[in-house]
Amino acid sequence: MIQYFKNINQQTVEIDKPENGAWIKRDGVWEPTHQSDIDWKEEIGPILQRYVSRLPGSFIEEKQFAVTWHYRNSEAGLSSSRIAELSAELTKILHIHDLDLTFEVKSIEIRKRGVSKASALSRVLTFIPDEFIACFGDDQNDEAVFRILPESAHTFKVGIDATVAKYRVTNDVAVRDVLSWFAKSLEEVKVFAHDLQ
């Protein structure tokens, strides 16, 4: 995203996508949004590994502050059964370790309660001006982000699912097109404002 706005003298803040808000990048430096233990991963890991062996095509992605079980390459009917079984099996562990289980696009993510893109954005909104905010999202967690942004924000749902976003784009190519258009428009505004001085 930064590549589109590198010629504009604006503060650009990124919220990491892979870690769903565990990190924010400000002034080129990544900083954690939460202090979190990861001891719970030792208990969750073997359970997820058992489900990988029970659902061909599924796999585990270990992140710094989360663990994700992906089933996008698996048979849909069997995936539905395994998702229900896994959710039920994890209920007690989630409560004991204060964890959230979220349903992403063809994956389930487990992370410490309170770590989310929406909570990261709440923090970001305390130190950035809301003159121009653009936000793109493609899953359910992004809906919470769209809801807390100021009314002036430009929100975009990527895909066809129901959304509270103001606008919709079909895919990543369309996202890049919109970002390019925003960057060009903001450069023109900057040049115009400069010419008035």
Q: What CATH number corresponds to the domain at position 135?
A: 3.40.50.1000
Q: Does 137 share its domain with 155?
A: yes
| Structural domains of the chain, count | 2
Report the 10 Å Cβ neighbour count for 8. Answer: 14
Specify the pLDDT at position 195: 37
Is 149 part of any domain? Answer: yes
- What is the Cα–Cα distance from 149 to 139, expressed in whole angstroms? 16
Q: Which residue has the higher pLDDT, 92 or 141?
A: 92
Per DSSP, the chain holds a count of helices (H) and strands (E) of 6, 10
Antiparallel, parallel or unpaired: β 29-32 and 99-104: unpaired
Final residue belonging to a domain, choices 59, 82, 112: 112
Q: Which residue has the higher pLDDT, 17 or 129?
A: 129
Specify the pLDDT at position 130: 65
- What is the Cα–Cα distance from 118 to 91, expressed in whole angstroms? 23
Q: Which residue has the higher pLDDT, 123 or 194?
A: 123
Specify the pLDDT at position 64: 80
Final residue belonging to a domain, choices 63, 84, 112: 112
Structural domain boundaries, residue 177: 2-20+116-196
pTM, whole model, 2 decimals? Answer: 0.65
Is 106 part of any domain? Answer: yes
Exposed (0-12), middle (13-18) or buried (19+): which is 21, by Cβ within 10 Å? buried
- DSSP for residue 150: -
Is 32 part of any domain? Answer: no
Is 79 part of any domain? Answer: yes
Q: Does 154 share its domain with 177?
A: yes
Specify the pLDDT at position 197: 36
Q: For residues 40-53, give the mean pLDDT.
A: 95
Whether residue 33 contacts residue 19, with contact meaning beta carbons closer than 8 Å, is answered with no
Specify the pLDDT at position 34: 67
**pLDDT tens per residue across span 157-192:** 999 989 999 999 999 899 889 888 887 877 654 443
pLDDT at 44 over 90: yes
Q: For residues 116-126, give the mean pLDDT.
A: 77
Final residue belonging to a domain, choices 67, 88, 112: 112
Is 33 part of any domain? Answer: no
**DSSP characters for 121-138?**
HHHHTTTS-SSS-EEEE-
Is 136 part of any domain? Answer: yes
Residue type, 166: K
Helix/strand/coil for 144: helix
- Angle (CA) 115 117 122, round 5°: 90
Q: Does 122 share its domain with 172?
A: yes
**pLDDT tens per residue across span 55-91:** 999 999 998 888 999 999 999 999 999 999 999 999 9
Q: Does 120 share its domain with 105?
A: no
Neighbouring-strand partners of residue 66: 111
